[in-house]
């Protein structure tokens, strides 16, 4: 692995930083925006990315991208995450459904959906998890029954991030209950305005409305909206042509928090034995985050050179998400009683943001494959250990 970036990479980093300094400037002075203001600012930022063709820059130019290779995409993602830039659903539209359509979609599906993603017009959500099917997704029970040119869909999805904002949902459904559970699944695209779809909010313990329950009651989805063959949707669903697989965004966000905690420590300088303990723990976390950054860089380098990164992606996913929990836990304790107060409290230190992070950082170790699932992948595919 080459441990330095090229002049082209450095120029891109400067360009992205300059863009972000301007694009995010109007939101910097806004304190505690309402949920409507927050979403409006996300959409506004998405439009600014679209103007630069930066919504999905790693996609082929034919589909509205710039054909960037993995390292350039990683640099872009790192800078956005470090700056705290809004996501506006890009993780689902750019990281999941877009690449899946590029590989498995029909020409009509590509023409209909890909330009609306790169222009920032369409917001997507993911209909995978169900109340009885999380890590064991193949146990899903949402049914789709063929009726002429439509499927009639009935069932429930849960933990559906951003469903209350989404225009479309990509979901997996059971089209043949008599086949083995991995074999009777199909992959559909559903317009969220279709009659019979109901979205109910799930507010997480940090007080944020990100997740939702989505109910499908006799929802008609055209057969033309099926991606891939009927009953072969499991393999479509598992397609991970994911250009942000290095997880560098988590590492960059961790870096921003660590720098803020270092400033806090320098200003307050807690004395006595606790002061030295805090200083040493902060140094340990900073070193760990640098390790995570190098793991992310290595993963992107491997992708760019055509190497498979299945195990490496699991390693950095576990490392980065669990490290985020350790950092926010440390940060709350470093601040003392004020660190446990929520934003808006006059006694909250650092605006109460670390208290929210501490609560929010629980879910990343669960979604997109829990830490337990990732460790099984590392054990079996990376270390060659037998399955349980």
Q: Which two tokens stand for residue 149?
A: 């040119």
Residue 131's pLDDT is 94
Closest among 194, 207, 193 to 165, alpha carbons compared: 193
Q: What is the pLDDT of residues 167-218, one digit of tens each?
A: 999 999 999 999 998 899 999 999 999 999 999 999 877 677 889 999 999 9
| Catalytic residue from among 78, 130, 244, 312 | 244
Question: Which range, of 134-143, 148-157, 262-271, 348-357, averages the lowest pLDDT?
Answer: 262-271
DSSP structure string for 98-146 = HHHHHHH--HHHHHHHHHHHHTT---EEEE--BTTBSSSGGG---EEEE
Q: Distance between alpha carbon 210 and the CA centroid of its chain, in Å? A: 12
Is pLDDT larger for residue 342 or for residue 290? Answer: 290
Only one residue has tokens 């429930």, namely 156
DSSP structure string for 3-36 = -S--HHHHHHHHHHHHHHHHHTHHHHT--S--HH
Q: What is the pLDDT of residues 51-84, one digit of tens each?
A: 999 999 989 998 999 999 989 999 999 999 999 9
Which of the given ranges, 222-236, 306-320, 348-362, has the highest pLDDT on average?
Answer: 222-236
pLDDT (mean) for 40-54: 93
Domains and CATH numbers, the chain: 7-88 (1.10.540.10), 124-237 (2.40.110.10), 248-382 (1.20.140.10)
pLDDT tops 60 at residue 32: no
CB 376 within 8 A of CB 314: no
CB 317 within 8 A of CB 247: yes
Q: Does residue 259 carry a catalytic annotation?
A: no
- 95 pLDDT band, cuts 50/70/90, is confident
pLDDT tops 60 at residue 109: yes
Distance CA 271, CA 137 (A): 51
Residue 241's pLDDT is 41
Sequence-distant (≥ 6) Cβ neighbours of residue 344 within 8 angstroms:
32, 352
pLDDT tops 60 at residue 388: yes
State the burial class of residue 358 (Cβ atoms within 10 Å of its Cβ: 0-12, 13-18, 19+): buried
Residue 161's pLDDT is 92
Is pLDDT larger for residue 157 or for residue 358? Answer: 157
* CA-only gyration radius of the chain, Å: 22
Closest among 179, 185, 198 to 138, alpha carbons compared: 185
Residue 270's pLDDT is 63
CB 118 within 8 A of CB 102: no
pLDDT (mean) for 245-274: 83
DSSP structure string for 73-96 = HHHHHHHHHHTT---TTHHHIIII
Residue 243's pLDDT is 45
Residue 247's pLDDT is 80
- 26 pLDDT band, cuts 50/70/90, is low
Three-class SS of residue 327?
helix
Q: Which residues of 317-337 are buried (b: 16+ CB within 10 A; e: fewer)?
A: bbbbbbbbbbbbebbbbbbee
Q: What is the pLDDT of residues 245-258, one digit of tens each?
A: 568 889 999 999 99
Residue 1's pLDDT is 63
Residue 21's pLDDT is 94
């Amino acid at each position: 692995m080459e441990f330095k970036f090229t002049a082209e990479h450095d120029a891109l980093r400067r360009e992205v930083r300059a863009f972000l300094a301007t694009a995010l400037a109007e939101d910097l002075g806004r304190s505690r925006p309402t949920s409507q203001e927050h979403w409006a600012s996300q959409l506004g930022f998405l439009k600014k990315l679209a103007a630069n063709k930066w919504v999905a820059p790693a996609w082929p130019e034919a589909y509205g991208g710039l054909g960037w290779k993995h390292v350039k995409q990683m640099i872009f993602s790192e800078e956005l995450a470090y700056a705290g830039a809004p996501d506006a659903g890009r993780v689902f539209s750019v990281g999941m459904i877009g690449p899946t359509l590029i590989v498995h979609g029909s020409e009509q599906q590509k023409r209909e959906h890909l330009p609306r993603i790169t222009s920032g017009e369409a917001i997507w959500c993911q209909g995978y998890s169900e109340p009885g099917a999380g890590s064991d997704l193949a146990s899903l029970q949402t049914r789709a029954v063929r009726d002429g040119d439509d499927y009639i869909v009935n069932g429930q999805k849960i933990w559906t991030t951003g469903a209350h904002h989404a225009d479309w949902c990509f979901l997996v459904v059971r089209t043949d209950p008599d086949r083995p559970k991995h074999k009777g699944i199909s992959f559909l695209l559903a317009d969220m305005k279709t009659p019979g779809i109901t979205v109910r909010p799930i507010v997480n313990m940090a007080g944020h409305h990100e997740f939702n329950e989505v109910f499908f009651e006799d929802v008609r989805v055209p057969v033309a909206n099926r991606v891939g063959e009927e009953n072969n949707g499991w393999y479509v669903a598992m397609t991970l042509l994911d250009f942000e697989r290095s997880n560098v965004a988590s590492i960059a966000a961790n870096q921003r928090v660590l720098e803020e905690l270092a400033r806090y420590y320098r200003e307050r300088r807690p004395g006595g034995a606790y002061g030295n303990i805090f200083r040493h723990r902060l140094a340990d976390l900073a070193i760990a985050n640098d390790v995570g950054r190098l793991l992310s860089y290595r993963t992107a380098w491997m992708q760019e050179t055509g190497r498979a990164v299945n195990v490496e992606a699991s390693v950095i996913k576990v490392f980065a998400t669990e490290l985020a929990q350790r950092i926010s836990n440390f940060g709350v304790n470093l601040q003392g009683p004020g660190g446990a107060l929520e934003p808006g409290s006059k006694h909250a230190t650092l605006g109460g943001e670390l208290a929210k992070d501490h609560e929010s950082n629980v879910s990343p170790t669960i979604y997109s494959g829990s830490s337990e699932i990732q460790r099984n992948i590392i054990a079996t595919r990376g270390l060659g250990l037998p399955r349980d």
